Amino acid sequence: MAIQCDTQILSILDRAQQGKAPSREECVQLLDLADSSLEAAMMRGVADSIARQRFHAPMLQGQIGIEFKPCSADCQFCSFAESFTQFDPFKMAPEKLREHTKAFAESGKPLTALFLMMPHEFDYEFLLDAVRDVRKIISPECRLVVNIGDFTETQAKELKETGVTGAYHVLRLQEGVCTKISREERIATIENVKNSGLDWYYCCEPIGPEHSSEEIADQILLGREYECYQHAAMRRVNFGHSPLKANGSISELRMANVVAVIALAMIENPELTSIAVHEPSGAGLLAGANTLYAESGGNPRDTKEETSKGRGHTMQSCAKMLEEAGWSF
């Protein structure tokens, strides 16, 4: 029995292999594919092949949550949201930060970037001190990235002068609906990052089953519009007191399909250096991703104060997952 494939999808994939990124409408078509369909499997395979030719090597990155507290942004997918958080305010002591940093830097695995994470409202001077401390420990080649709330262009330039090389900043799915932050604020900070010369790390997140293909495509393509340095996909993690728990979660296969669409959509972005899948997923590494994050400290997807004892992966487990997917260090 002959297997029939959608000729429109085949045409999109053929053009992708020739270096032509799909349009917004074509991204929606790809996201509409049934996760387990032959066309989706072919899409993941093409995206994986393109990514391996483009990136050549894996990226192993670490993140330390150095501050958390009840947060007035009140994001319904975040364990720090003030309306339902179970965390007390916390700032990581300098000696503890150095301990976590050394654990990443001296793991025996190649740390390509270290992220410092804080809530939407954060202590800027505390962050500058943390950057100075961390920069003394990690190698000059290791990139230092901040994952923080909105900030000004002046602050972006000061962070760069202090030793930061990039910033992770995202216009989240349903921003302003599931959060108390406006889309305009998030976009303004992305522009501040770009204007300061910092590398811009982006992600389509936090993806849930209620998000339409159109919503997801628009979030993906913001990374193309502003030419992100790294793109990624992250599914929403539901915990006991999250208001979005009733909506359920997407599967790893669905997330892998989103990763594949990202890889195809970003073909013509000259700034792109890598694609991450988060939380770490073997399926995503076979669909266009080459980057994983290990984590310690606070984590907005965890209910444990120290995520390395909860959801957070280690450098070793991430490295093993990358190697199992055929990404060689």
**pLDDT tens digit at each of 329 positions of the chain:** 557 789 999 999 999 999 999 999 999 999 999 999 999 999 999 999 999 999 999 999 999 999 999 999 999 999 999 999 888 999 999 999 999 999 999 999 999 999 999 999 999 999 999 999 999 999 999 999 999 999 999 999 999 999 999 999 999 999 999 999 999 999 999 999 999 999 999 999 999 999 999 999 999 999 999 999 999 999 999 987 888 999 999 999 999 999 999 999 999 999 999 999 999 999 999 999 999 999 999 999 998 999 999 999 999 999 999 999 999 98
**pLDDT tens per residue, range 19-28:** 999 999 999 9
**Under a CB-based contact definition with an 8 Å cutoff, are residues 75 and 81 in contact?**
yes
Predicted local distance difference test score (pLDDT) of residue 2:
59
| pLDDT at site 240 | 77
Task: Give the residue carrying structure tokens 């292999």.
Answer: 17
Residues 301, 79 contacting (CB under 8 angstroms)? yes
The Cα–Cα gap between 309 and 107 comes to 17
> What's this model's pTM, rounded to 2 decimal places?
0.97
Are residues 93 and 42 in contact, defined by beta-carbon separation less than 8 angstroms?
no
Angle between helices 252-265 and 7-17 (to 10 degrees): 50
pLDDT single digits (tens) 259-309: 999 999 999 999 999 999 999 999 999 999 999 999 999 999 998 999 999
Asked whether 120 and 85 are in contact (CB, 8 A), the reply is no
DSSP 8-state secondary structure symbol assigned to residue 235: E
